[in-house]
A and B are shown apart, each in its own frame.
Chain A
Amino acid sequence: MKLADLQTIAEHELDFQRAYKYRINVCCSSGCVHFGAFKVLKAFEEAVKEFGVERECKIARTGCVGTCAVGPALVIEPGDHLYQNVTPEKVREIVRDHIVLGLPVKEMLYNNEAFFKKQKRLVLRNAGKIDPYRIRDYIALGGYSALVKCLATMTPQGVIYEVISSGLRGRGGAGFPTGQKWSLVARAHGSPKYIIANLDEGDPGVFANRALAEADPHAILEGMLIAAYAIGAEKGYIYIRAEYPLAIQTLQVAITQAKSMSLLGDSVLETPFKFDVELRLGAGAFVAGEETAILASVEGRRAMPRPRPPYPANSGLWGKPTLIQNVETLANIPLIVLNGGLWFSKIGTAKCTGTKCFSLTGKVNNPGLIEVPMGITLREVVFDIGGGVQEGRKFKAVLVGGPSGGCLPETLLEQPIDYESLKKVGAIMGSGGIVVLDEHSCMVDTAKFFTEFCVDESCGKCTPCRAGLARVKEIFEALTQGNGKLEDITTLEKSSVYIRDASLCGLGQTAPNPVITTLRYFKDEYVQHITEKTCRAGKCFKKEDEGKP
């Protein structure tokens, strides 16, 4: 395939799709699959045959539409009719009423406009719209045209310039300016150069990257291709958790299809540019998401971080310059190339441009996958998009940034979501988890849960993280069993600061965040655990079987 062929393919595909009156997009993301999406898909195929309307309907298996709490979900176009809680038994009725008679089944429709109103879908632009297993679906919606634009009209420096002017920052959590990273790797000496797309989404309670890979794998590949062209890399790896079988399969198919259309390989679109991508499976190590640890893991070793410098930009995989980028960052790239850096820089806030994907979970009415512009407040996310706390209970805290994020109280809900604001109040952007807690959650118990997670996941290389966190965990055990002492609070405060300041990598440096923030905002609960030996949420001091969910 040549550069010019892409447009033709897109037009053919659009004509092909227009021949159908209806398009039924069945969400087959992991969440919906767990709850029977494949059975729904099969039921549709049978029902359209039964009613003799198979020539009017294109049934597509798509990625996440976002409303994970009401899965299996599906969308019927035209009109974007979103159906919720679909079971194989309900399918016949949907086909009969909606397709044959043209009457959407009102009582099955998702009627919660608030969930989508404040969202802005850039990264998830194709999620739920395209079949991730059909590269032509992606091409029809303008896919790979950014790559063509780069190869045909832009120099590598020109691409980097656009990314710099977009103001895009790394979505993996640290927020390093993407364009700056690219120019560092582009200027670094050494060959070959490598790219690693980081999909080691190890945070419990976070699934935004997985949903992206399952919904729109080619956006990740196109982002990698453009990055490779800009920095002069020839080989890329996508490092993905082994716990994500569906995402692995989706990416594998996408790579094979891209190769067959010469979008990957020795001569991309018959130009001198060459680039190839391979998958690398993680194996259940949270720390592997750290950028020096991921290098070790891709090289087949234990995922243990090392001190920086040298930075991966100069000395990464096998000592060669390496660009490590989160997949969400990469999925933004085609849009920046197509619309220009200036366009992108106007979305979000001045310092934090663009959008961010979050998995919104916990005790919130509308959990799911969301994408919001930077600068939106936590209150808008929890109450407007999330629809507030379940069962009319009282909001207590929101956890932002995964197990090494912070627990923020109601008074901080007006905080805008951006890297600096979150850091200021003790949380982090992390890889994008927002978990809502209500009055039935104990903050001491929550901090203990995250500490246990970090103790499990500490690689053991540096002492503050290995021994410090273990000691913190012991104190939490005492606190929640009624053996706490008031001086434990001081010990916790001090150890947290030591661990944060003295640890080698991001895991240890951020692991105390839940402890620090719960001590800062919910100290009265700690004191109550110690002096009154009571837990107002009813979580602690109980024998095993007394606790209720």
Chain B
Amino acid sequence: MSKDDNRRMLLEKAMKEHNYQESALLEILHKAQGIYGYLEKDLLMDISQSLNLPPSNVFGVATFYSFFNLEKPGEHIVTGCLGTACYVKGVEQIMQAVEREFNVKRGETTADGKLSLFVTRCIGACAMSPAIVVDDEVIGKATKEVVIERIKQLLGGAKVETS
């Protein structure tokens, strides 16, 4: 069985477990994103057919909730916490420095697909603010120097190609 077939089976299993009910749409989208990494158009069409829902309904839900990614994320993901505590402690300056350094805007991915920059509203590490998540590692009491250095390490020392 190919990788794709296997993933499709996992999705089918999730939908079947919920009896293809409309009320489980969020759960199924969570599952689908977990399996595929993001929700591309064909995948959403597939789900809408399986649940017998209009595509507008499925796309409506997928785009309403910010947790769902409709674009393929980069190889490495940097997420800035824009919670109040982090904001008060200056996370904005760090984010701007990262944006300039790697030529990527928040919510977007670099042209070479290596790095995505996202923001989130509070990861709950408020007491260690400002916090930046680099892949799965949380950098607490972060400074722009430390964050940029860490990202450069991840990208193999080389600066990301600018688009």
Chain A residues engaging chain B, CB cutoff 8 angstroms: 30-31, 34-35, 68-69, 71, 202-207, 210-211, 242-244, 280-286, 297-303, 359, 361-363, 367-368, 399, 402-403, 433, 435, 437, 441, 446, 449-450, 453, 459, 544-545, 547-549
Residue of A nearest to B21 (CB): A300
A34 B140 Cβ-Cβ under 8 A: yes
A362 B30 Cβ-Cβ under 8 A: no
The residues in B between 79 and 116 inclusive whose CB is less than 8 angstroms from any CB of A are: 82-94, 96-97, 100
- Whether A303 touches B128, Cβ cut-off 8 Å, given contacts A286-B121, A545-B100, is no
Q: Residues of B contacting A545 with CB < 8 Å?
A: 93, 96-97, 100
B127 A367 Cβ-Cβ under 8 A: yes
Interface range on chain B (Cβ under 8 Å from partner): 35 or more
Q: Residues of A contacting B94 with CB < 8 Å?
A: 549
13 pairs, CB–CB < 8 Å, chain A vs chain B? A35-B140, A71-B128, A203-B84, A282-B26, A283-B26, A283-B30, A299-B23, A302-B60, A435-B88, A450-B84, A545-B96, A545-B100, A549-B143
What does the 1/0 interface line of B121-147 toward A look like (CB < 8 Å)? 111111111110000001010010000
Additional A-B contacts beyond A68-B125, A300-B27, A459-B64 (6; CB < 8 A): A30-B125, A34-B140, A207-B124, A242-B30, A243-B120, A548-B90
Nearest Cβ on chain A to B15's Cβ, whole angstroms: 12
A204 B121 Cβ-Cβ under 8 A: yes
Measured in the bound complex, the distance between the Cα atoms of B30 and A547 in whole Å is: 38
Nearest Cβ on chain B to A531's Cβ, whole angstroms: 26
Q: Which of A35, A210, A301, A368 contacts B124 (CB 8 A)?
A: A210
- Whether A281 touches B26, Cβ cut-off 8 Å, given contacts A68-B126, A362-B84, A435-B88, is yes
What does the 1/0 interface line of B48-64 toward A look like (CB < 8 Å)? 00000000000011001
Binds A, one of B2-10, B65-73, B154-162: B65-73
Nearest Cβ on chain A to B60's Cβ, whole angstroms: 6
Answer yes or no: B11 CB below 8 A from chain A CBs.
Answer: no
Q: Which of A211, A284, A544 contacts B67 (CB 8 A)?
A: A284
Measured in the bound complex, the distance between the Cα atoms of B138 and A31 in whole Å is: 10
Answer yes or no: B12 CB below 8 A from chain A CBs.
Answer: no
Measured in the bound complex, the distance between the Cα atoms of B27 and A298 in whole Å is: 10
B122 A206 Cβ-Cβ under 8 A: yes
Measured in the bound complex, the distance between the Cα atoms of B82 and A171 in whole Å is: 24
Q: Residues of B contacting A297 with CB < 8 Å?
A: 26
Measured in the bound complex, the distance between the Cα atoms of B92 and A446 in whole Å is: 12
Q: Residues of A contacting B91 with CB < 8 Å?
A: 549
Answer yes or no: B25 CB below 8 A from chain A CBs.
Answer: yes
Nearest Cβ on chain B to A32's Cβ, whole angstroms: 10
Measured in the bound complex, the distance between the Cα atoms of B59 and A302 in whole Å is: 10
Residue of B nearest to A302 (CB): B64
Chain B residues engaging chain A, CB cutoff 8 angstroms: 21-27, 29-30, 60-61, 64-68, 82-94, 96-97, 100, 120-131, 138, 140, 143
B131 A205 Cβ-Cβ under 8 A: no
Measured in the bound complex, the distance between the Cα atoms of B121 and A284 in whole Å is: 9
- Whether A207 touches B126, Cβ cut-off 8 Å, given contacts A281-B26, A286-B121, A549-B93, is yes
B126 A547 Cβ-Cβ under 8 A: no
B130 A204 Cβ-Cβ under 8 A: no
Q: Residues of A contacting B64 with CB < 8 Å?
A: 285, 302-303, 459
B90 A547 Cβ-Cβ under 8 A: yes
Q: Which of A30, A435, A544 contacts B84 (CB 8 A)?
A: A435
A363 B89 Cβ-Cβ under 8 A: yes
Q: Which of B83, B88, B130 contacts A437 (CB 8 A)?
A: B88
A202 B126 Cβ-Cβ under 8 A: no
A300 B84 Cβ-Cβ under 8 A: no
A205 B122 Cβ-Cβ under 8 A: yes
Measured in the bound complex, the distance between the Cα atoms of B124 and A211 in whole Å is: 9
A547 B93 Cβ-Cβ under 8 A: yes
Residue of B nearest to A33 (CB): B138
Residue of A nearest to B22 (CB): A300
- Whether A204 touches B128, Cβ cut-off 8 Å, given contacts A242-B30, A283-B65, A453-B121, is no
Q: Residues of A contacting B83 with CB < 8 Å?
A: 204-205
Q: Residues of A contacting B92 with CB < 8 Å?
A: 547
- Whether A31 touches B67, Cβ cut-off 8 Å, given contacts A280-B27, A298-B23, is no
